[in-house]
Chain A
Amino acid sequence: MFSLFLYFFMSFFDQLLQFFVSGVTQGSIYAIVGLGFTIIYNSTEIINFAQGEFVMLGAMFMVTFNAALGLPIPISFVISVIAVLIIGILIDLLIIRPVRKPTHISLIIITIGASIFIKGVAMLAWKKDYHAATPFSGEKPISIGTAAITPQALWVIGITCVVLVLLHLFFEYTDTGKGMRASAINPKAASLLGIRVKRMVLISFALSGALGAVAGIIIAPITFAIYNMGVMLGLKGFCGAVIGGLGSVPGAIIGGFALGVLEAMGAGLISSAYKDAIAFVVLLLVLFMRPTGILGKGEMKRV
């Protein structure tokens, strides 16, 4: 009797582990995307709704360079990231800078416009089909205990960790990184110290573009690339950032991973039909109960 119970418990536990693994994989993407949002938000207070499209473009470029043009994976990776990085810069220069009346509403809508535009161009360029991306190192699942994980998922988690470490080093030890942190905290003081805020904004767009691209590139072999993949990924990555605390870099990471795991658990244990809703329900709960999120900067209105 007890062994029967144990058996069910173990298989339940197996399932949990499997969900957890897939949750962490997905959560990595959300974390990176959320970071993209956070970095731009910190330097500009803008919520860049085009962030999801950076992810899509990264995936699409990767498919084009690697699968269509036959370039090796590492090279395609780098070129794709650079391409999206440039697009990020263009968005800052052509769309954000010329804005005459920068109110919250208008900036949000402008970036929504940009995302719609990019999606439309992508649809023209790559049509509405799913494009297969080649996994980096094969498809045979590896066993971790009783859970199976694909090599690509390992790549996702691994590259995410590398990205996080690099970002940390960047913000802590490079002048540019420190300058960006300063501008985020206090733009006036920063500019008095000689930090060119406009340049910081440009860099943040470039960086967010690159991050989005990386996310798209590593997830594409798992989910395949399609012109509208950016919408949900972007929105959910954004949910992760808000849950963790909009404006907080560790918050975006924690929020993203937490969201990925919650989603996987919820989809597996409760209902997979409403999986997409989980992110937004949690988002609303956080907004209503603690808008600054888990680690967010407190909003103190100084009068």
Chain B
Amino acid sequence: MSEKRDYIYIGILIATVSLLPFFLTNDYYLHVLILIGLHTIIVLGLNLLMGYAGQISLGHAAFYGLGAYTSGILTAIYDFHPVFAALIALLFVGLIAFVVGIPSLKLRGHYLAIATLGFGIIISIIFNEMKLAPKGTDLPMGGPEGITDIPKLYFLKYSFGLDNILPVKLGQVTGLSNVVPNLYAFNIVFDTDLKYYFIVWIFALLLLIISNNIIKSRVGRALRALHTSETAASTLGIDIQKYKLSVFVLSAFYASIAGSLYAHFIASAGPSSFGFHKSIMLVVMVVVGGMASIWGSIFGAAFITLLPEFIDALNNSVVKIQPELFYIFEDFDIIVYGLILMVILIFMPEGLTKGIVDRLKGKFSK
């Protein structure tokens, strides 16, 4: 049965994830892998919404950002315990998703896309404008620099601090000031990238297993049914509105968890990471990975997250040969995103994973 196959895949995944960091030569790669893990979490949720239930969200980065901002504000400004803050973020984001979802999910097709788009943009504008002051200081946080000095993640007493080795890019972009407070977890503070890598990927794997469970269950069938034919599904007793809303809120939960993890990792939460561009990137990840493929979520997240790195590498090798050509490839990733989106959706709408797998199968069966 496919159940055994699932267990095998999960086992391989766990092994790969556990062993990978020890093969890396540079802390920076670890950092990238953490980002991939965060994106995987969001994409898993978004995939449930888009791939299985067939609804569109062009504003999902808003939920990601709301999770990050809530965790950031509660811990950096109001000294909440990080786990507590993350739980509050979860409830808060869920509530917003619920409220926004009720009227939005009554809309069909492109109207729903537009509504989620509008919602996402409104939230990102609020992020950009909102300012809050930490207790006892006159310095408001917020605005374009976002919330900074977010404490490290922890569950119990010890701190997980962030490494002192931070990529220069990141420091400049987020306006990160100094050392991030630590994240405690079970008497560990998440103060190294390695510890953070594991906590993020533990969440990613757990959520992957949960998503898989949902798909293969009664609930998953109801979602897939309403994707294909709302009419038929409702005549079989499936409450369409309830399920659409539930999966929308669920996907927002996923994004919120990723957001909270992000905030403690980067130690800041700024509006530039949670806008329209990010929402589109997330959709691209879902599409590239394959819209109804749980495993594809990892692939899609990895592929798109690594893309700027590939291009950077390309950049660097070009620079070595001909320094003037550097300008051509800088910011090339935007063009490549656009190309990828178009090419995949035109020729392989089922997504890269399934598309490539099917084509390979085709070759081998000949």
Q: Is there direct touching of A and B in the complex, by C-beta distance under 8 Å?
A: yes
Chain A contacts to B: CB under 8 angstroms: 47, 95, 98-101, 103-106, 108-110, 112-121, 123-124, 231, 235, 238-239, 242, 273-274, 276-277, 280-281, 283-284, 287-288, 291
Segment from B12-20, B154-162, B294-302, B328-336 that makes contact with A: B328-336
Closest CB in chain B relative to A118 CB, distance in Å: 7
Q: Which 4 A-B pairs have the closest CB atoms?
A: A117-B338, A113-B341, A120-B335, A116-B338
For residue B118, which residue of chain A has the nearest CB? A280
Take A112-B341, A113-B339 as given contacts and tell me if A287 and B334 are in contact as well, using a CB distance cutoff of 8 Å: no
CA distance A158 to B342 in the complex (A): 37
Q: In which size bucket is the chain B interface?
A: 35 or more
Give chain A residues whose Cβ lies under 8 Å from the Cβ of B104: 287-288
* Cβ contact within 8 Å between A106 and B349: yes
Of B111, B114, B284, most buried by chain A (CB within 10 Å of CB) is B114
CA distance A190 to B129 in the complex (A): 50
* Cβ contact within 8 Å between B337 and A113: yes
Give chain B residues whose Cβ lies under 8 Å from the Cβ of A103: 349
CA distance A101 to B345 in the complex (A): 8
Per-position binary interface string of chain B over residues 35-69, scored 1 when its CB falls under 8 Å from any chain A CB and 0 otherwise: 00000000000000010000010100000000000
CA distance A273 to B127 in the complex (A): 11
* Cβ contact within 8 Å between A120 and B346: no
**Of A108, A113, A235, A284, which one neighbours B113 at CB under 8 angstroms?**
A108
* Cβ contact within 8 Å between A120 and B111: no
* Cβ contact within 8 Å between B341 and A110: yes
What does DSSP make chain B's interface, helix, strand, loop or mixed? helix
Take A109-B283, A284-B119, A288-B103 as given contacts and tell me if A120 and B345 are in contact as well, using a CB distance cutoff of 8 Å: no
Give chain A residues whose Cβ lies under 8 Å from the Cβ of B349: 99-101, 103, 106
**Of B118, B121, B276, which one neighbours A287 at CB under 8 angstroms?**
B118
For residue B59, which residue of chain A has the nearest CB? A280
For residue A128, which residue of chain B has the nearest CB? B331
Give chain A residues whose Cβ lies under 8 Å from the Cβ of B284: 109
Q: Verify if B140 is at the interface (C-beta below 8 Å from A).
A: no
Q: Verify if B180 is at the interface (C-beta below 8 Å from A).
A: no
* Cβ contact within 8 Å between B126 and A117: no
Closest CB in chain B relative to A44 CB, distance in Å: 12
Closest CB in chain A relative to B350 CB, distance in Å: 8
Q: Verify if B186 is at the interface (C-beta below 8 Å from A).
A: no
For residue B126, which residue of chain A has the nearest CB? A277
Q: Verify if B320 is at the interface (C-beta below 8 Å from A).
A: no
**Of A105, A274, A284, which one neighbours B125 at CB under 8 angstroms?**
A274
CA distance A231 to B345 in the complex (A): 21
* Cβ contact within 8 Å between A110 and B345: yes
**Of B58, B118, B126, B345, which one neighbours A113 at CB under 8 angstroms?**
B345
* Cβ contact within 8 Å between A274 and B129: yes
Give chain B residues whose Cβ lies under 8 Å from the Cβ of A117: 334-335, 337-339, 341-342
25 A-B residue pairings within 8 Å (CB atoms): A47-B113, A100-B346, A104-B56, A105-B50, A109-B341, A110-B345, A112-B280, A116-B334, A116-B338, A117-B335, A117-B341, A118-B338, A120-B335, A120-B337, A121-B335, A235-B117, A235-B121, A239-B118, A274-B129, A276-B125, A277-B122, A280-B118, A284-B119, A287-B107, A291-B111
Within 8 A of A (CB), among B306-321: none
Give chain A residues whose Cβ lies under 8 Å from the Cβ of B346: 95, 98-100, 110
Q: Verify if B255 is at the interface (C-beta below 8 Å from A).
A: no
Give chain A residues whose Cβ lies under 8 Å from the Cβ of B336: 120
* Cβ contact within 8 Å between A116 and B118: no
CA distance A108 to B109 in the complex (A): 10
CA distance A273 to B122 in the complex (A): 12
Of B287, B336, B345, most buried by chain A (CB within 10 Å of CB) is B345
* Cβ contact within 8 Å between B338 and A114: yes
Closest CB in chain A relative to B331 CB, distance in Å: 6
Closest CB in chain B relative to A27 CB, distance in Å: 19
CA distance A112 to B120 in the complex (A): 15
CA distance A273 to B126 in the complex (A): 9
Q: Verify if B110 is at the interface (C-beta below 8 Å from A).
A: yes
CA distance A277 to B280 in the complex (A): 19
**Of B58, B287, B341, B345, which one neighbours A99 at CB under 8 angstroms?**
B345
Give chain A residues whose Cβ lies under 8 Å from the Cβ of B126: 274, 277
For residue B339, which residue of chain A has the nearest CB? A117
CA distance A288 to B102 in the complex (A): 9
CA distance A104 to B50 in the complex (A): 12
Sample of 19 more A-B contacts, CB < 8 Å, known A114-B338, A124-B332, A231-B276: A47-B113, A100-B347, A101-B349, A108-B58, A109-B283, A110-B341, A113-B339, A113-B341, A116-B280, A117-B342, A120-B331, A239-B118, A274-B126, A276-B125, A277-B121, A277-B126, A280-B121, A281-B118, A281-B122
Give chain A residues whose Cβ lies under 8 Å from the Cβ of B113: 47, 104-105, 108
CA distance A17 to B41 in the complex (A): 51
Q: Verify if B90 is at the interface (C-beta below 8 Å from A).
A: no
For residue A103, which residue of chain B has the nearest CB? B349
Give chain A residues whose Cβ lies under 8 Å from the Cβ of B335: 116-117, 120-121, 124
Give chain A residues whose Cβ lies under 8 Å from the Cβ of B331: 120, 123-124
Q: Verify if B340 is at the interface (C-beta below 8 Å from A).
A: yes
CA distance A238 to B103 in the complex (A): 20
CA distance A113 to B287 in the complex (A): 12
CA distance A242 to B340 in the complex (A): 29
Within 8 A of A (CB), among B112-138: 113-115, 117-119, 121-122, 125-126, 129
Closest CB in chain B relative to A164 CB, distance in Å: 24
* Cβ contact within 8 Å between B118 and A283: yes
Closest CB in chain B relative to A87 CB, distance in Å: 14
Give chain B residues whose Cβ lies under 8 Å from the Cβ of A100: 346-347, 349
Take A99-B346, A124-B328, A274-B129 as given contacts and tell me if A113 and B114 are in contact as well, using a CB distance cutoff of 8 Å: no
Take A109-B341, A120-B331 as given contacts and tell me if A273 and B119 are in contact as well, using a CB distance cutoff of 8 Å: no
